[in-house]
């Protein structure tokens, strides 16, 4: 099942994310990047923490650059907590009018600028991807969409409804997934759409074999779930260059 001699063999890859990626997460003995190490030969460097949203990842770019300045690629897997904490989606751009030289003639035209703000999901994406592009201009940057969400109860005060329910803003998880798909076009980065192609569907009891706990945690994959994620990522990554 491994791919000996793939373009990812020997590559160092940074992973920015939340509890799906964090090293201190206890929901799986092995995680997707551990399997990717065996399947593709890459070496993972993980910068992730439970509960983190996109806004929390900005400082991790500096840490990754400091610790591993020669990293070959960076993958970002986040967004499910932005949904759960009801972050407004916002817009990628603001629009105004400005004068510009077009073929030697000064004209007034519509002009757009990236929204750079951590108060909206689009603004957070812009901030992080701008920083990644500036910090690692010649490296591969890849976005991963969240997977489907099931019910979770981690404490009396931390009960998370399944994706059947909207968040406090009336938005569903797929609204955030669509935004991440669009971000790929806005910033010219590949998006691996795990929401659509991972095959994981925790809302269905038939998929209990892939989740951490059918009663209290239908949100996080278990070891088998992480292996399925890794196999999906393996073939997606084979279609992308690891280095430039």
Q: Is 220 helix (H, G, I), strand (E, B) or coil?
A: strand
How confident is the model at residue 203, as a pLDDT? 87
Three-state DSSP at 107 gives strand
User: Which residues, in sequence order, are bridge partners of residue 45?
Assistant: 14
pTM of the model: 0.95
Per-residue pLDDT tens over the stretch 92-105: 999 999 999 999 99
- Please give the CATH number for the structural domain made up of 12-89+120-237: 3.40.50.1110
Query: Cα(first)–Cα(last) distance of the chain, in Å?
Result: 26
Alpha-carbon distance values, 11 to 37, 42, 181 (Å): 10, 5, 25
Average pLDDT over residues 124-139: 98
Q: What confidence score (pLDDT) does residue 29 get? A: 78
| Segment 183-202, tens digit of pLDDT | 999 999 999 999 999 999 99
Question: What per-residue confidence (pLDDT) applies to 22?
Answer: 87
Is-contact 81 18, C-beta < 8 A? yes
DSSP one-letter string for 78-145 = --HHHHHTT-----SEEEEEEEEEETTEEEEEEEEEE---TTSHHHHHHHHHHHHHHHSTTSEEEEEP
Mind listing the pLDDT tens digit for each residue in 208-238? 999 999 999 999 999 999 999 999 999 999 9
Tell me what the mean pLDDT of segment 133-151 comes to.
97
């Amino acid at each position: 099942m491994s791919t000996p001699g793939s373009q990812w063999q020997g590559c160092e890859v940074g992973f920015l994310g939340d509890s799906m990626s964090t090293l201190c997460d206890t929901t799986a003995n092995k995680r997707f990047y551990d399997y990717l190490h065996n399947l593709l030969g890459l070496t993972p460097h993980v910068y992730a923490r439970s509960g983190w949203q996109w806004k929390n990842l900005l400082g991790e770019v500096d840490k990754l650059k400091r610790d591993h300045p020669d990293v070959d690629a960076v993958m970002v897997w986040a967004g499910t907590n932005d949904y759960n904490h009801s972050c407004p989606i916002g817009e990628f751009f603001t629009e105004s009018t400005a004068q510009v030289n077009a073929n030697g003639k000064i004209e007034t035209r519509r002009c757009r600028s990236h929204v750079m703000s951590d108060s909206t999901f689009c603004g957070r994406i812009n901030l992080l991807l701008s920083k990644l592009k500036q910090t690692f201009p010649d490296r591969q940057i890849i976005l991963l969409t969240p997977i489907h969400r099931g019910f979770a109860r981690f404490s009396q005060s931390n009960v998370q409804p399944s994706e059947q329910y909207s968040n406090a803003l009336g938005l569903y998880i797929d609204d955030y997934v669509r935004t991440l798909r669009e971000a790929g076009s806005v910033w010219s980065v590949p998006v691996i759409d795990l929401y659509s192609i991972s095959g994981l569907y925790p809302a269905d009891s038939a998929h209990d074999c892939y989740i951490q706990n059918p009663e209290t945690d239908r949100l996080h994959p278990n070891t088998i779930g992480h292996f399925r994620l890794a196999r999906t990522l393996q073939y997606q990554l084979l279609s992308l260059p690891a280095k430039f």
